[in-house]
Amino acid sequence: MAVHLDARPPAVPAPRRSHPDRGHRLARLDTRFSPYLYIAPFFLLFAVFGLYPLGYTLWVSLHDWDLLGASPTFVGAQNYRQLMSDPDFWNSVVNTLGIFALSTVPQMLLALWLANLLNRQLRGRTGWRMAVLVPNVTSTAAVAIVFGVLFSREFGMINWLLDLVGIDPVNWKANRLASWVAISAMVDWRWTGYNALIFLAAMQAIPRDLYESASIDGAGRARQFWSITVPLLKPTIVFAVIISTIGGLQLFTEPRLFHSGTNAIRGGPLRESQTMTMYMFENAFAPHYNFGYGSAVAWLLFALIAIVAAVNVLVLRRLGGGRREETR
Amino acid sequence: MVIFSRRRLGVALVATAALLGTAACGGADAADDGTVTLTVDVFGQFGYDELYKEYMASHPGVKIVERGTGSNLDEYSPKLTQWLAAGKGAGDVVAIEEGLLVEYKANPQNFVNLLDHGAADLKGNFLEWKWNQGLTADGKQLIGLGTDVGGIAICYRKDLFAKAGLPTERDEVSRLWPTWQDFIKVGEQFTAKNTGASFLDGATNTFNTILLQTAGNTTGYSYYDTSDNLVVDSNPAVRQAYDTTMDIIDSGLSGKYGSWSEEWVSAFKQSKFATIACPSWMTGVIEGNAGEGAKGKWDIAQVPGSGGNWGGSFLAVPKQTKHRAEAIELAKFLTSAKGQIGAFKAKGALPSSPQALDDPAIADSTDAYFSGAPVGKIFSAGAKSLKPVYMGPKNQAVRTEVENAVRTVELGQRSPGQGWTDAVTNAKKAAAK
């Protein structure tokens, strides 16, 4: 096919002269369909790697499907009904949302603060700006393993430090809040710098004269930050929140590798930090190999992300409207 | 203008076609140059390196590659299951642990029936129960040939025992604990001496050891009876093992290190516990975790109670293999008495072949790492008279729930009573999934 098309152009001029309107028709076809062809690669890839797995997962989720079994049986919505009354599933939903909230809020505040610092006149500014991105380029698996050791019950550095100031050791892996904090710390360590750079880029787009007139009016640095920087940064903040929503709700590597040993997929003896993706894995693969049930978890995760995304869009609209009024 | 547009159309078409082409051609097979490459999938340490070399020397057309060496069973088994489900990716010969074998036996269509390939003649090469474990329920298909068995002992730290004023010589130590209750008493004495180490590594592995021993000596099954009914709450062996484990926890003997976790591995290195329930394959794990520095500090004594088997594996040939005949031949070689002796010498895997167990190479073997303990004698003593424990279809998932309940009690998150209720409820839930 490719060879045929490449070979055509030299032969084209002659027919064009004898059939002018044929070339015209081709041109019209071109303007009409070329754009679709240009974007086709994305949609083809999306169909193969996005849409097809999505549909197939839905199909699987309607079956009693043993991963190894020869013939899955159609069971309709039974997997979903069972999930609705599965306390372990709801536990994983709460964990996911809890870790998400616990990691995102401090992360955004810290990133704002960092960006504000980096926005000042600093010696070696580019160096600092690059430095905050370094945690982001390290491998998640390595980060998770290192944090898993830092937060170890007996040999961990965090408990050693707590001991120095007279606090009893915490069992980070078998305590719900503690494990959420540890995992959030891991997420924040990795992503705060990334978000700080995004905020920094947006901050640099804020006109200097706003700050100048504010300081003439007697506003201090803090006042300038909260009354000028933060309001003008709102759309960027929403963007950053959406990005971390998508990542946060699919959190897997960090909590999975935070736990080690047998049944690490449970996220602690009482499933203290088992996220939805971990619960999905536990059901679809070891030890249950119940592919149908795992697929149902995947679809409910999809639904949850859609809901949270919708909330984000609503918030974005309101903020967007507010901003327009401000600039008017 | 027109030419330009048309070329643009062409470029777009070419790009699309090229993309489709790339998407369409996936895994092309490497060209065959006459030699057959056999992939062997294992977990942990099977100790086959020398055997591969020998086999390749006598079979010039065969090249063997081993994958998964040193990996955790928890990582290995989902991968193998995915390969089998996908019909692609599995090795030509795969190792299967006995706990997982029951799941695979329920779906025997994924494996070559070794009985169709002359394996029936090999029956005498294996302990009878090991051979039977590899057969499907109807006895018509043989999925795997046995590799090793897991005779149980107690591995202990001589230096820590000396520090606590306990005897250190292995026969004397064995005499300290004829029963698990005696074992607990010794543990209490040890704990009272404040050596800075706990008596046991953790409760879950100990629980499983006691359960498999008790079940083997009484009912012959653990979580499922032989008709595949879940009996976690009615089998006295399960309750008895649970109660004994609760006594161990109550007496403060456990170091609470979650088995196979990073902390557990560190605890080995830092000499944080004095004893560990020790199926024969555990000796290799201890050596790996505790390292060269602890060589000669460990020794092996008899297990309280009597006998018991934990673990052991099989080699199977997935139906998806492209080299069926060669793979079967290799599996037969590796599970032969000779192959099993080789594996024992390399990594301490106790043979499941009676001929190998009787072989002087095993019977007279000692392990320098464990202060020259006569490992062959200690572990093989029980292996031949052993009564196997039947495992039901969802054994792995149920075991996970029960052991996890033990773990929550060990960590003080649940009382023993609550832990038992959790174990039963969650086990039933897991079995129904």
The answer to whether B406 and B258 are in contact (CB under 8 A) is: no
Is 0.85 exceeded by the ipTM?
Answer: no
Nearest to A288 among B104, B110, B433 (CB): B433
Say whether pLDDT at B103 is over 90.
no
**pLDDT value of position A69:** 77
Locate the domains of chain B by residue range. Answer: 36-149+312-363, 152-309+369-432
Query: For the stretch B97-118, what's the b/e string if a residue is b when 16 or more beta carbons lie within 10 angstroms of its beta carbon?
Result: bbbbbbbbbbbbebbbbbbebe
Please tell me the distance from the alpha carbon of residue B282 to that of residue B262, in angstroms, as a whole number: 16
Cβ A68–B6 below 8 Å, yes or no?
Answer: no
Indicate which of B13, B264, B399 best probes the interface with A, i.e. most A CBs within 10 Å of its own CB: B13
Q: Tell me the torsion sign for CA atoms B261, B267, B269, B273.
A: negative
Q: Per-residue pLDDT averaged across B70-81, rounded?
A: 85
Q: Output B179 or B102, whichever has higher pLDDT.
A: B179
Could you tell me if B194 lies within 8 Å of chain A, comparing CB atoms?
Answer: no
The answer to whether B239 and B214 are in contact (CB under 8 A) is: no
Cβ A152–B413 below 8 Å, yes or no?
Answer: no
* Distance to chain B for A105, nearest Cα, Å: 30
The amino acid sitting at B16 is T
Q: Tokens 């029960």 label which residue?
A: B402
Q: Output A317 or B401, whichever has higher pLDDT.
A: B401
Q: What is the dihedral of CA A3, A4, A6, A7, to 10 degrees?
A: 110
The answer to whether B301 and B173 are in contact (CB under 8 A) is: yes
Which of A23-29's residues contact partners 24+ apart within 8 Å by CB, and which partners? Answer: A23/B2, A23/B6, A24/B2, A26/B2, A26/B5, A26/B6, A26/B9, A27/B1, A27/B2, A27/B5, A27/B6, A29/B9
The amino acid sitting at B270 is Q
Could you tell me if B107 lies within 8 Å of chain A, comparing CB atoms?
Answer: yes
Nearest to B13 among A5, A283, A289 (CB): A5
Say whether pLDDT at B71 is over 60.
yes
Kindly report the pTM of this predicted structure. 0.84
Task: Collect all residues of chain A within an 8 Å Cβ-Cβ radius of residue B203.
Answer: none
With CA atoms as reference, report the closest residue to B351 among B372, B375, B325, B368.
B375
- Percent of chain B at pLDDT > 70 equals 92
**pLDDT value of position B1:** 37
Structural domains of chain A in order of their starting residue, each with its CATH number = 83-327 (1.10.3720.10)
- Percent of chain B at pLDDT > 90 equals 70
**pLDDT value of position B2:** 41
Nearest to A269 among B84, B404, B433 (CB): B404
Please tell me the distance from the alpha carbon of residue A302 to that of residue A282, in angstroms, as a whole number: 17
Say whether pLDDT at B21 is over 50.
no
The answer to whether B51 and B26 are in contact (CB under 8 A) is: no
Q: What Cα–Cα distance (Å) separates residue A291 from each residue in A183, B52, B400?
A: 28, 36, 19
Please tell me the distance from the alpha carbon of residue A323 to that of residue A319, in angstroms, as a whole number: 6
Please tell me the distance from the alpha carbon of residue B265 to that of residue B237, in angstroms, as a whole number: 30
Tell me the Ramachandran region of residue B155: left when phi exceeds 0, alpha when psi lies from -120 to 50, beta otherwise: beta
* Distance to chain A for B43, nearest Cα, Å: 14
Task: Collect all residues of chain B within an 8 Å Cβ-Cβ radius of residue A290.
Answer: 433
Could you tell me if B99 lies within 8 Å of chain A, comparing CB atoms?
Answer: no
Could you tell me if B415 lies within 8 Å of chain A, comparing CB atoms?
Answer: no
- The three-class DSSP label of residue B44 is coil
* Distance to chain B for A198, nearest Cα, Å: 33
Please tell me the distance from the alpha carbon of residue A326 to that of residue A232, in angstroms, as a whole number: 10
Locate the chain B residue with the closest alpha carbon to A71. Answer: B107
Indicate which of A71, A147, A263 best probes the interface with B, i.e. most B CBs within 10 Å of its own CB: A263
Please tell me the distance from the alpha carbon of residue B72 to that of residue A261, in angstroms, as a whole number: 9
- Return the number of other C-beta atoms located less than 10 Å from residue B227's C-beta: 9
Q: pLDDT by residue (tens digit) across B296-345?
A: 999 999 999 988 889 889 999 999 999 999 999 999 999 999 999 999 98
Q: pLDDT by residue (tens digit) across B225-248?
A: 999 999 999 999 999 999 999 999
* Distance to chain B for A327, nearest Cα, Å: 43
Q: Tell me the torsion sign for CA atoms A165, A168, A172, A175.
A: negative
Nearest to A148 among B12, B78, B262 (CB): B262
Q: What Cα–Cα distance (Å) separates residue A166 from each residue in A67, A163, A169, A185?
A: 51, 5, 9, 22
Task: Collect all residues of chain B within an 8 Å Cβ-Cβ radius of residue A45.
Answer: 19, 23
Cβ A155–B263 below 8 Å, yes or no?
Answer: yes
Say whether pLDDT at B18 is over 60.
no
Q: pLDDT by residue (tens digit) across B148-192?
A: 998 899 999 999 999 999 999 999 999 999 999 999 999 999 999
Ranges of residues in chain A whose predicted pLDDT is under 70: 1-20, 316, 319-328
| Residue B94 DSSP label | E
* Distance to chain A for B249, nearest Cα, Å: 16
**pLDDT value of position A274:** 96
Phi, psi at B67, each rounded to 5° = -120, 150
Q: Per-residue pLDDT averaged across B253-262, rounded?
A: 92
Task: Collect all residues of chain B within an 8 Å Cβ-Cβ radius of residue A151.
Answer: none
The answer to whether B316 and B143 are in contact (CB under 8 A) is: yes
* Distance to chain A for B416, nearest Cα, Å: 15
Burial class of residue B144 in the structure, from the number of CB atoms within 10 Å of its CB (0-12 exposed, 13-18 middle, 19+ buried): buried
With CA atoms as reference, report the closest residue to B198 among B146, B254, B258.
B254
Tell me the Ramachandran region of residue B22: left when phi exceeds 0, alpha when psi lies from -120 to 50, beta otherwise: alpha
Cβ A288–B430 below 8 Å, yes or no?
Answer: yes
DSSP-derived pairing of the beta strands B36-41 and B62-67? parallel
Locate the chain A residue with the closest alpha carbon to B262. Answer: A260
Phi, psi at B157, each rounded to 5° = -95, 115
The answer to whether B257 and B201 are in contact (CB under 8 A) is: yes
Nearest to B433 among A16, A37, A290 (CB): A290
Could you tell me if B258 lies within 8 Å of chain A, comparing CB atoms?
Answer: yes
What are the structure tokens assigned to B349, written together? 């895997």
CATH architecture of the domain with range B36-149+312-363: 3-Layer(aba) Sandwich (3.40)
Locate the chain B residue with the closest alpha carbon to A2. Answer: B14
Could you tell me if B77 lies within 8 Å of chain A, comparing CB atoms?
Answer: yes
**pLDDT value of position A26:** 86
Task: Collect all residues of chain B within an 8 Å Cβ-Cβ radius of residue A176.
Answer: none
Nearest to B259 among A173, A262, A289 (CB): A262
Cβ B433–A70 below 8 Å, yes or no?
Answer: no
With CA atoms as reference, report the closest residue to B368 among B345, B349, B352.
B345
Q: What is the 3-state secondary structure (H, E, C) of chain A?
A: CHHHHHHCHHHCHHHHHHCHHHHHHHHHHHHHHHHHHHHHHHHHHHHHHHHHHHHHHHHHHCEECECCCCCCEECCCHHHHHHHCCHHHHHHHHHHHHHHHHHHHHHHHHHHHHHHHHCCCCCCHHHHHHHCCHHHHCCHHHHHHHHHHHCCCCCCHHHHHHHHCCCCCCCCCCCHHHHHHHHHHHHHHHHHHHHHHHHHHHHHCCCHHHHHHHHHCCCCHHHHHHHHHHHHHHHHHHHHHHHHHHHHHCCCHHHHHHCCCCCHHHCCCCCCCCCHHHHHHHHHCCCCCEHHHHHHHHHHHHHHHHHHHHHHHHHHHHHHHHHHHHHC
Task: State the DSSP string of B99-130.
Answer: HHHHHHHTSGGGB--GGGGTGGGGGGGS-HHH
Q: Do domains B36-149+312-363 and B152-309+369-432 have the same CATH topology?
A: yes
Chains A, B: CB contacts within 8 A come to 154
The answer to whether B426 and B230 are in contact (CB under 8 A) is: no
| CA geometry: angle A137, A139, A143, nearest 5 deg | 110
What are the structure tokens assigned to A84, written together? 């609705």
Cβ A12–B3 below 8 Å, yes or no?
Answer: yes
Locate the chain B residue with the closest alpha carbon to A285. Answer: B78
With CA atoms as reference, report the closest residue to B153 among B400, B376, B387, B399.
B376
Number of residues that make up chain A: 328
The answer to whether A267 and A274 are in contact (CB under 8 A) is: yes
What are the structure tokens assigned to B100, written together? 């997982």
Cβ B433–A293 below 8 Å, yes or no?
Answer: yes
Please tell me the distance from the alpha carbon of residue A141 to that of residue A147, in angstroms, as a whole number: 10
* CATH number of the structural domain B152-309+369-432: 3.40.190.10
Cβ B81–A68 below 8 Å, yes or no?
Answer: yes
Q: Per-residue pLDDT averaged across B406-411, rounded?
A: 96
Please tell me the distance from the alpha carbon of residue A55 to that of residue A61, in angstroms, as a whole number: 10
Locate the chain A residue with the closest alpha carbon to B266. Answer: A155
